[in-house]
A and B are shown apart, each in its own frame.
Chain A
Amino acid sequence: MEGTEKISLSIESSALPYGVVLSSSGEVLFDSTQHPDLQELKDVPALVKYALETTGRKAADLERIAINIGPGGTSAIRAGVAFANSLAYSLKIPVIGVNTFELLGAPATAQYGCPTLVTIKSVRGHAYVGWYADGAVQQTLYGPLEAMVRKAVGEHTTWAVAGAHREQLIALFPEFTVHDTGKKFGLATDLVPMLPQLTNRELRFPNFVVPITEQSVIFKGSE
């Protein structure tokens, strides 16, 4: 029955404006990117409230929250993660963290049928680099962009590229077949089809998600 069915909240937090999606059984009920008047709103709690009100739902209807935990815009991710954690805690529902490499890599790999290189800008010429293939992130690196990309790409000659440096990287590898995904950031709607596969990652307090940073364990030994 409408209003009582359980719904999922998906948040893309790696860049402003946030992407906020409500879904039920894989069907998107609300997508903030489809509301031009919301594109200036940088306040994730306000966006979620708007989404719930617009769809006639209440916070208590939520059964899980999925959020992009980065890497990406550090302040935006941190605020989004803090909100997702506390909302999940208050409702006693699970929160699921998805990294930017998966969020950009999974749909691109499905679309192009090849691995996907994902790069995210950091400071001092460094970048976060991820290699997505065979349904999972295979490698994550942090360091100087070109060196990390060459390490991630290895001997592969055909791949898709997503993230911040697409044009630069296509120009860097003229001999390879590199598909431009056209995506700099992820989409919250891309989290929706991933949800059924993420139940094993559900965290309940006292566990919660934390943002990915250059100090995260997945980048250890990059350089």
Chain B
Amino acid sequence: MAKYILGIESSCDDTAIAVVTEQGEVLSSVIASQAEIHSQHGGVFPELAGRAHVQSILPAIEKALRDAGITHEDLEAIGVTRGPGLIGSLLVGLTSASGLGLGWDLPVIGINHLRGHLRSADLEEQRVKYPAVILLVSGGHTFLAHMTSVTEIELLGSTRDDSVGEAFDKVGRMLGLGFPGGPEIDRAARQGQATIPFPRPMLHKGLEFSFSGLKSAVARYLDALEGPPIVEDVAASFVEAAMEILLTKCRKALKKYPAKSLVVVGGVAANSQLREQASALCAQMGVELCLPPLRWSTDNGAMIALATWDYLRLGKHPAPVPQLQLSISDF
């Protein structure tokens, strides 16, 4: 009889639970979003995130099991994000998972959130062809990695300051577009002209990223304006700069490292211009573009569950305790 993993993700502002098979079939995925709570603050408010997780985690677990049509007796293990993330949010997921594991006599494995994101492209169907170059672009992370197999990963470069998703959120706030900023900036940018020459920090310096300077340049531009900005043009100019940085680094990585596919994951992978430009780049470079469906781009429990199967196969059982500093190469 097939066994399942219960995946628990609570590293930031979404309580996400899923039931997943070893082949990546998703039997259920429940996400309790906190967007409404944090939109009033223009960003994630850590204390409120922790409080909301406590309220939503058990109902989400119950719903995930019910939607999957299984009981705890059908589970092989519980996988739970142990980091990186907000400590108060992580602790709720970790201690909840430990309680379930103790009561149901199941192993509980602490999963590296970043490895979850990398595996999101293989949910529901095997998409990634190895070796692959992976671009992870989210509110918390921005990096490029090279994968020679599902579990063998080399970090190629990461951001030295802000993540690209953070820059989107902050620019969105500057432009009065609300939180999260990504979807609204994307929409505004498509209606504007990229007329403002914002900088492209570290564009020609290896595979590292930097988005703090770009974000500050937008702030300076807005401060210097005497009248109201043309929001669509500012958004278009910002997005053009961000995309040029991301795509230039992807091109460099694809030239330098053998790859059959380029995988783009994380919340910013929902950006329509990134999807279009990555598609054009892959056509040029003769590699396949792997984009997970949008529902798996943002934080979700299914990616954690699928990564948990990798841990089990390799006999890796990190304890379910918080670990705020984890690199992509860590299990």
Interfacial residues, chain A to chain B (CB-CB below 8 A)? 43-45, 48-49, 59, 74-75, 78-91, 205-206, 208, 210-211, 213
Contact of A86 among B51, B87, B88, B96 (CB under 8 A): B96
Known: A75-B50, A75-B87, A78-B91. A86 touches B58 (CB 8 A): yes
List chain A residues, Cβ under 8 A from B59: 206
- Nearest residue, chain A, Cβ from B72: A90
Count the A-B residue pairs with Cβ separation under 8 angstroms: how many? 89
How far does the alpha carbon of A203 sit from the alpha carbon of B320 in the complex, in Å? 26
- Nearest residue, chain B, Cβ from A48: B102
How far does the alpha carbon of A144 sit from the alpha carbon of B94 in the complex, in Å? 34
How far does the alpha carbon of A213 sit from the alpha carbon of B55 in the complex, in Å? 13
Known: A74-B47, A90-B100, A206-B59. A211 touches B54 (CB 8 A): yes
Q: Say yes or no: A82 contacts B96, CB within 8 Å.
A: yes
- Nearest residue, chain A, Cβ from B95: A83
Contact of B99 among A84, A205, A211 (CB under 8 A): A84
Q: Say yes or no: A78 contacts B102, CB within 8 Å.
A: no
List chain B residues, Cβ under 8 A from A86: 57-58, 61, 95-100, 103
Decide yes or no whether B221 CB sits under 8 A from chain A: no
Contact of A213 among B51, B94, B102 (CB under 8 A): B51
How far does the alpha carbon of A82 sit from the alpha carbon of B61 in the complex, in Å? 12
Q: Say yes or no: A87 contacts B103, CB within 8 Å.
A: yes
Interface centre among A43, A44, A75, A83 (most CB of B within 10 A): A83
Q: Say yes or no: A90 contacts B99, CB within 8 Å.
A: yes
Q: Say yes or no: B88 contacts A85, CB within 8 Å.
A: no
Q: Which residues from 272 to 289 on chain B have a C-beta closer than 8 Å to any C-beta of chain A?
A: none
How far does the alpha carbon of A178 sit from the alpha carbon of B72 in the complex, in Å? 53
List chain B residues, Cβ under 8 A from A81: 54
Known: A210-B55, A213-B51. A79 touches B103 (CB 8 A): no
